[in-house]
């Protein structure tokens, strides 16, 4: 080929390649991620990159955005957990695996009053004695509680769904079985209510929320199944703060039976209110950050928040996979032990559960116990300080050796981004679909805004917070080595959030009344998986004080 033709061919080829590249370039969408966008985003997470670094990040961030879009096309229902699990057990902790028979304190002879409504505030143990001795039938007891739910439920706004048909069928079966000598145990024939985030087959499970108020599931939650197997009678799905925050739900604000002008607190709002008002024999609640402790305090009842990994969450609304816990709300500590003994343990579904014994022995001697107390928190309490100080005095009078403690010093409140990030993921679709606008509370400090804010929590910071959480767990193990358990003012300082993050169990119970006449509480915190001793000690305190025997008077 002549040199001139050769050069012309090269020029034409280059021109063609240039034009071809221009065509492809024109078909590729421009990168929407600019250096200015990266700079602004960096300010949201406290990072400042140079222009050169921002330029280098553009293509990678565009790719990540495209990956997010593809991930979001995969449907994830609320019951799908992340494939990472939280482990609350510190290094070197040894857990007793010895199992002992479950036994409760003797109830003694229980007389049936002339007016059946007088048993509305009886303990589970007392009700069980009446049923077992056939002085009272489950149908009679169930109808009494159903009537009270119909009478007072609307005033307290504590009931979402009455399960009357199911309850009467379960009560009838309980009576037939008891009459035939097939007694299942202490909960056989006892009516109860469940927080409306536990699924019930064929009965609405609303999560207290407008977008889900017609929601139906085709299977009972594990906790509901276990209570049915024990012969308990489900009379109501009880109100909860919308998506487990506060006491406001799509039907109103759940009331405190001691003061109808006051909300019951939440998020186990209806469970605490109904138990306090004598509308159920006991109730089931849940806690992520105070949702058993807070309403139990407000309503003057006793609540158990078990160790993380004790009670199956299958069939329960997920809010925070590494913090959610299910527990009983009752009138007495021993009632909590009875219900917990029924609902705890592995179910083959919830992979976070531990197969460990629950050994409850009420016949303890407090002189043998070293009980810690958070001295700084007791000293700094302002409201109802006399009640908290009196709690320590009672424990001392019972022979307990009190040991001052101080919680490990970490930025505990800042670790709440763990809950926010997980909650944002649990309700990701609600945010992206815009259905968060349907939620009742639309203020800054409510779920819709919190879910949106969670989108700006970097994955790195979420993991860093969990690494600090690991350190907190190790330090709590050291703290508890010198005591059997400890007590704390229920809401002072970091204790409530810190122990929810570490997974420690607690019992909250009444310790007096405010000057306005509403209940106050004290909290006992136990070692991991040591609910047995925790409940036994709390029972000794409760028996010595008797505040749980006072009940609110509801207007007719």
Is residue 267 flagged as an active site residue?
yes
In angstroms, the Cα distances linking 63 to 52, 58, 70, 538 are 18, 9, 11, 56
The strand ranges marked E within 182-310 are 191-195, 233-238, 248-249, 252-253, 255-256, 259-263, 282-287, 302-305
In the chain, the N- to C-terminal Cα span, in Å, equals 110
Residue 241 and residue 267 in contact, taking contact as beta carbons nearer than 8 Å: yes
Active site residue 62: no
Cα gap 102→93, rounded to integer Å = 24
Residue 113: count other Cβ atoms within 10 Å of its Cβ. 12
Segment (H or E) for 506: strand 506-513
Token pair for 525: 């915190």
- Helix or strand holding residue 162 (H, E): strand 159-162
- Which pair of structure tokens corresponds to residue 142? 């169930």
Structure tokens that stand for 329 in this block? 């709300």
The DSSP line for 460-482 is HHHHHHHHHHHHHHHHHHHHHTT
- The whole-angstrom separation of Cα 208 and Cα 446 is 14
Whether the CB-CB separation of 392 and 423 falls below 8 Å is answered with: no
β-bridge partners, 286: 326
Give the Cα separation of 260 and 516 in Å (integer): 13
Active-site choice (199, 267, 271, 454): 267
Q: Which of 291, 312, 320, 391 is catalytic?
A: 291
Residue of 42, 500, 118 lying closest to 308 (CA atoms): 500
Among 195, 204, 237, 539, the one annotated catalytic: 195
Q: Determine whether 271 is an active site residue.
A: no
Indicate if the alpha-carbon torsion angle 8, 9, 13, 19 is positive or negative. Answer: positive
Give the catalytic positions in this structure. Answer: 195, 267, 291
């Amino acid at each position: 080929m002549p040199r001139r033709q050769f050069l012309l061919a090269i020029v034409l080829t280059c021109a063609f390649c240039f034009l071809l590249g221009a065509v492809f370039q024109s078909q590729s969408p421009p990168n929407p991620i600019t250096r200015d966008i990266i700079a602004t985003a960096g300010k949201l997470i406290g990072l400042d990159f140079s222009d050169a670094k921002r330029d280098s990040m553009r293509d990678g961030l565009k790719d990540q955005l495209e990956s997010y879009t593809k991930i979001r096309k995969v449907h994830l229902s609320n019951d799908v957990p992340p494939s990472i699990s939280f482990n609350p057990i510190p290094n070197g902790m040894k857990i007793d695996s010895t199992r002992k028979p479950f036994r409760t304190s003797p109830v003694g002879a229980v007389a049936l009053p002339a007016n059946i409504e007088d048993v509305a505030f009886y303990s589970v143990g007392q009700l069980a004695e009446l049923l077992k001795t056939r002085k009272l039938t489950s149908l009679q007891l169930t109808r009494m509680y159903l009537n009270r739910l119909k009478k007072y439920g609307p005033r307290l706004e504590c009931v979402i769904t009455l399960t009357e048909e199911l309850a009467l069928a379960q009560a009838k079966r309980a009576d037939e079985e008891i009459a035939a000598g097939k007694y299942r145990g202490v909960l056989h024939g006892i009516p109860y209510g469940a927080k409306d985030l536990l699924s019930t087959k064929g009965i609405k499970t609303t999560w207290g929320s407008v977008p889900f108020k017609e929601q139906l599931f085709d299977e009972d939650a594990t906790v509901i199944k276990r209570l049915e197997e024990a012969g308990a009678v489900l009379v109501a799905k009880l109100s909860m703060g919308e998506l487990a925050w506060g006491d406001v739900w799509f039907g109103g604000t759940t009331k405190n039976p001691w003061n109808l002008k006051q909300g019951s607190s939440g998020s186990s709002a209806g469970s605490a209110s109904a138990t306090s008002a004598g509308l159920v024999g006991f109730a089931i609640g849940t806690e992520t950050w105070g949702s058993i402790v807070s309403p139990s305090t407000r309503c003057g009842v006793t609540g158990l928040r078990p160790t993380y990994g004790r009670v199956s969450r299958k069939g329960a609304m997920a809010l925070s996979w590494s913090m959610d816990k299910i527990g009983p709300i009752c009138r007495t500590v021993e009632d909590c032990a009875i219900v917990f003994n029924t609902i705890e343990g592995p179910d083959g579904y919830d992979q976070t559960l531990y197969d460990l014994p629950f050994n409850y022995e009420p016949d303890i001697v407090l002189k043998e116990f070293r009980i810690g107390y958070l001295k700084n928190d007791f000293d700094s309490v302002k409201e109802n300080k006399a009640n908290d100080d009196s709690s320590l005095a009672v424990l001392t009078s019972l022979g307990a050796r009190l040991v001052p403690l101080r919680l490990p010093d970490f930025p505990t409140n800042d670790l709440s981004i763990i809950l926010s990030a997980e909650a944002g993921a649990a309700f990701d679709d609600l945010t992206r679909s815009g259905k968060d606008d349907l939620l009742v509370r639309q203020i800054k400090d409510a779920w819709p805004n919190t879910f949106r804010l969670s989108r700006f929590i970097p994955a790195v910071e979420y993991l860093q917070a969990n690494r600090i959480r690991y350190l907190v767990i190790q330090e709590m193990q050291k703290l508890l080595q010198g005591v059997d358990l400890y007590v704390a003012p229920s809401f002072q300082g970091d204790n409530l959030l810190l122990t929810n993050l570490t997974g420690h169990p607690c019992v909250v119970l009444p310790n007096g009344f405010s000057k306005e006449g509403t209940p106050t509480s004290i909290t006992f915190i136990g070692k991991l998986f040591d609910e047995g001793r925790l409940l036994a000690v709390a029972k000794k305190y409760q028996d010595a004080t008797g505040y749980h025997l006072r009940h609110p008077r509801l207007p007719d």
